Amino acid sequence: MQLDIADLRKGSKVVMDGAPWTVTDYQFVKPGKGQALYKCKLRNMISGALVDKTWRSGEKFEKADLEESRMQYLYVDGDGYHFMNNENYEQVALKEEQVGEAVSYLYENLELDMLFFNGQPIGLTLPNFVNLQIMESEPGVKGDTASNTTKPAKLSTGYTIQVPLFVDEGEWIKVDTRTGDYVERVKK
Instruction: Name the pTM for this structure.
Output: 0.73
The pLDDT tens digits of the residues spanning 101-125 come to 889 999 999 999 998 988 888 888 8
| CATH classification for the domain delimited by 66-125, as one of 3.30.360.10, 3.40.50.300, 2.40.50.140, 3.40.50.2300 | 2.40.50.140
Matching fold, domains 2-63 and 66-125: no
Strands across the sheet containing 2-4: 2-4, 60-63, 13-16, 19-29, 37-44, 50-56
Using one digit for the tens of pLDDT, what is the confidence trace for 14-73? 898 888 988 889 898 888 888 888 899 998 888 878 999 998 888 888 888 889 999 999
Closest CA to 171 of 131, 128, 144: 131
- We find that the CATH architecture of domain 129-186 is Beta Barrel (2.40)
Q: Of the CATH numbers 3.30.930.10, 2.30.30.30, 2.30.38.10, 3.30.2000.20, which one belongs to the domain with range 2-63?
A: 2.30.30.30
Return the amino acid letter for 18: G
